[in-house]
Amino acid sequence: MNDAENLAKLLGHLKPELFRAFMAEEFGLVMPELEKKKTKTEHRQVMEAVLAALPVLERQRIEEVAEKIILLTDGAGQDVVDGFRDGIFDDADREAFDALRDQYERALWLYANAAEIFKEALDARQADVFRQSVTCYSGFVAPKALVMATDEKAKEAFHENVARQLGCAKDDVAIQIFKRLRPNSQTGEDVDLYQISVHNNRPPEIIDCVQASELVAQEVVRAVSSHITYEPANGHLEVLSRETDGREALARIAADCLLQSPFSGERIPLKQYDYQSLAAPRSFDLSGENVASVKVAELGYSDSNHRSLLVKIWAKDPDDIHTAAKSLIGPSFDFRHHRLTYARLSIRLKKVGRERARTISVILRDDNKCNIKTKREKDRALCDRLLAKWQLVKEIGDVVEAPVDEVAA
């Protein structure tokens, strides 16, 4: 199944009986009964033959679902799933979910049993991919406090201009506009967020397939998506799209047709996650926050010989990570002699109302990567605010760095 990479992955990782049941329940696909004497490999070979015999378009429909599930199984996807677990399921659902130790089964469980949660997690995973890459994300400064026009005339103008910009027929473009609430990263209070999703067909692709023992060409049309958001509270107009050259044009069309406001094209400064200060013992300001404690749980670095070291401590360790590292490596060891490439903060939240006490893990790695974009929006806003308070994030271009407290944490 060279044309269904993600479906093949799902088949290879799920238990045969689970995969077979999912194909039957979700797609009405009839597969042979699993014979007890056969191995997992043999079972998978039988099911692969059934999938390979499907018409290309039908297999492609299944592949699109498989791709969404697979997206939540890599490292970033698992971070997302873990972030969405807390406070979402009832006790019975949580018990069933926690019993699954395989990331493929967990992602499949979400898809089959919690459709809304799965969609939110998938959106967060895709947003994380976009926002961590300047090739996919652009942020622009627009006037604050504008109200998006959603009347038919404005939407029609936006639709027509987007189709013209993308160079395709209007019927090949689908537009979705909606408004929702998002926690403000500074105050945590809910603020309005407008989101515009643009879906457009790519040119047809020709895929080879076998029909009646003959190799024939099958035409397939795929759609790609771009997303535009506008937050009136801060005036941020963000575009998530893999089309680098077209992002500013989409922002301008949204400003002209929907916000009905001039647009300068001024960019939002990029965030730089600056976590090298964690190499020294320090304290964390928790004033005014619903946070019980913060602990540096993991620190790692790599040297010029491509050797790496990662030190971990558990949440209830009486020592901080610097004391633990000295006891493991030697009394003279100091993280400040190395450049950090990985850090994990363990943030313990207090119990408030019906919200359980729980822990959020913030991972900072490499030059400028952070996993907070994979969190639920409420948690993302809190983490944004805390990292700024602790001087672990700044806008690129800042030159003044205030000193941090060197007290163990």
Label each residue of 310-344 as H, E or C. Answer: EEECCCCCCCCHHHHHHHHHCCCCCHHHCCEEEEE
3-state secondary structure of 217: strand
State the virtual CA torsion across 152, 153, 159, 162 in degrees, nearest 10.
Answer: -150
Phi (first) and psi of residue 300, to 5 degrees: -145, 155
Q: Residue 151 burial (CB < 10 Å; 0-12/13-18/19+)?
A: exposed
Sequence spans of domains, the chain = 5-113, 134-258, 272-395
Cβ–Cβ under 8 Å, residues 6 and 66: yes
Residue whose tokens read 């979400």: 110
Q: What is the structure's pLDDT at 200?
A: 92
Q: Which two tokens stand for residue 394?
A: 């700044």
From the list 291, 272, 273, the residue with the least C-alpha distance to 343 is 273
The DSSP code for 157 is: H
Q: Is residue 224 within 8 Å of residue 200, measured between CB atoms?
A: yes
Query: What single letter denotes the amino acid at residue 317?
Result: D
pLDDT by residue for the chain (409 residues), tens only, comes to 667 888 999 999 999 999 999 999 999 998 999 998 899 999 999 999 999 999 988 998 999 899 999 989 876 677 778 767 665 667 788 788 888 878 999 999 999 988 888 887 887 776 655 555 556 778 899 999 999 998 999 999 999 999 999 999 999 999 988 877 666 666 667 788 888 989 999 888 888 888 888 898 888 888 888 889 898 988 999 898 888 889 999 999 999 999 999 888 888 776 788 899 999 999 999 999 999 999 999 999 998 888 999 999 998 899 999 999 999 999 999 999 999 999 999 999 998 887 778 899 999 988 778 888 667 767 888 998 999 999 998 765 433 344 444 444 4
Residues 6+ apart with CB under 8 A from 316: none
Strands (E), 157-307: 173-183, 190-201, 205-211, 214-220, 223-231, 236-240, 271-273, 291-302
Q: Is 210 in contact with 181 (CB distance < 8 Å)? A: no
According to DSSP, the β-strands at 205-211 and 236-240 are unpaired
The total of other beta-carbon atoms located within 10 Å of residue 395's CB is: 11
- The answer to whether 220 and 60 are in contact (CB under 8 A) is yes
DSSP E strands, 221-370: 223-231, 236-240, 271-273, 291-302, 308-312, 340-349, 358-365, 369-370
Residue 5 — left, alpha, or beta (φ > 0 → left; ψ -120 to 50 → alpha)? alpha
Query: Rounded to whole angstroms, how far apart are CA atoms 302 and 324?
Result: 19
> Taken in order 118, 73, 125, 382, is the CA torsion positive or negative?
positive
pLDDT the model gives residue 375: 72
Distances in Å between the Cα of 70 and the Cα atoms of 41, 106, 205 are 20, 11, 23
Q: Phi then psi for 387, rounded to 5 degrees?
A: -65, -35
> In this predicted structure, what is the pLDDT of residue 227?
86
Are the C-beta atoms of 80 and 107 separated by less than 8 Å? no
